Amino acid sequence: MSNIEEFPGRDELSPRQKLRKQFFKRLRARMYTIILIVILVAAAVFGYLTYERNKVYSGVEVVESVSFSPASGTRVEEFSGGVLTYSKDGAQVADAKGNLLWNRTFDMQNPMASICEDTVAFADYGGSTIYVQTAGGDAYEVSTAMPIRKISASNKGIVTAVLEDVGVTWIYLYDSNGDIVAKIRTTMEKSGYPVNLDMAPSGKVLGISYYHLDIGDAMSSVAFYNFGEVGQNSIDNYVSGYNYQDSLVPLVKFLSGSHAFALSGTRLTIFEGSEKPVSLKEIFIDDEILSVFNNSEYIGLVVRSDDNKSTYKLRIYSDKGILISEKGFDFDYSGVVFSEGQYALYGNTDIYVGTVDGREKFSYEYEMPIRLMIPTSSPTKYIIVTESSIDTVQLR
């Protein structure tokens, strides 16, 4: 029997190779552990988001309430997250805790206001002074040489006014120093009468809806003017426009710096473009249009329902004119506010909160009649303004 001696060959690892092998083994184990933890955390986050997405709330908790007693005839609006009240005697803004942020006094018979993001302008119909205020506290006045018929504020210190003259209607643009930036001369025979106007937040592009007669037939038009570099080479800064036969277009409004819309009794038109807005889409509407609400992303139309299931319908469109969802309801509404992919529909004591894509989040009858609802940075928290209080509520 022969003696066989094992030869220390290639299967034997050196001490250095053994250490290297053990290192990579431990590294793989740690990587597997990390991957498992990441998967578990992702699953937990997904589960939580799915739960929150589909969660329906059934009540509210008033986390803070302060007294609020506006005078009779006072109008209440949301302004930069606060509560704006204005009347013939002046305007003021308070936060959710009731703290007065600013106060402005004036004397008007028929006050009107125009809000654009963090800027608000006030004027008296037929008056000659425009009062401009920013959320940051800056304030200035603009004096006009002719009676004021309409105003439009921008977020860049430019305010626009429709001024009435004999046989001519003027549209003036003023800067924060009260100086005239530009003016447009309009007549019923040529351009028509300016029914409505709105300035883009940039203060550069102005949209105007006109009404005029064309050989005895009523006609409306929507025109856009650019007062920046793009419009300098255009006659009267006119950059685009559209005519609408046998139709009155009482509203033209900017959603953002790149999207605007015009609304008639039968048609919603979407415009796109930050320099020369062009017609992107037209939506013809057969039902009676009752109200329109919007923010920078969505347009909400309330129409009279054509079925027996509900009295009204809220249709929500994207800024490109795509119908996202439709909600039927029966209570008498007073407002719709949008925030973070959802909306709150309210009126008297009724509240309905839903997502813009059609899921219900909350339906409730509040204890007091509601004058205004203001969304907050949290999708489950709102500021509710009643006749006697400003309430901060948390959905539960």
**147 exposure class (CB count in 10 Å sphere: 0-12, 13-18, 19+):** middle
Which is nearest to 336 in space by CA: 270, 290, 368? 290
Please tell me whether residues 166 and 197 are part of one structural domain: no
- The range of the structural domain enclosing residue 307 comes to 286-365
What does the block give as tokens for 104? 């402005």
Please tell me whether residues 121 and 170 are part of one structural domain: yes
CATH at 156: 2.40.128.650
Domain boundary among 284, 317, 352: 284
Asked if residues 364 and 60 have their Cβ atoms less than 8 Å apart, the reply is yes
Per-residue confidence in pLDDT tens, the chain, 396 aa: 555 555 455 556 677 777 777 777 887 888 888 888 888 888 777 766 655 666 899 999 999 999 998 888 899 999 999 999 999 999 999 999 999 999 999 999 999 999 999 999 999 999 999 999 999 889 999 999 999 999 999 999 999 999 999 999 999 999 999 999 999 999 998 899 999 999 999 999 999 999 988 777 789 999 999 999 999 989 999 999 999 988 899 999 999 999 999 999 999 999 999 999 999 999 999 999 999 999 999 999 999 998 889 999 999 999 999 999 999 999 999 999 999 899 999 999 999 999 999 999 999 999 999 999 999 999 999 999 999 999 999 999
Domain boundary among 140, 170, 186: 186
Please tell me whether residues 310 and 249 are part of one structural domain: no
Domain boundary among 284, 312, 347: 284
Domain total for the chain? 3
Is there a domain that residue 324 lies in?
yes
Which residues, at least 6 apart from 265, have a Cβ–Cβ distance to it below 8 Å?
247, 248, 289
Please tell me whether residues 235 and 320 are part of one structural domain: no
Is there a domain that residue 204 lies in?
yes
Please tell me whether residues 154 and 193 are part of one structural domain: no
Please tell me whether residues 153 and 227 are part of one structural domain: no
* Residue recorded with tokens 């940075």: 377
Is there a domain that residue 361 lies in?
yes
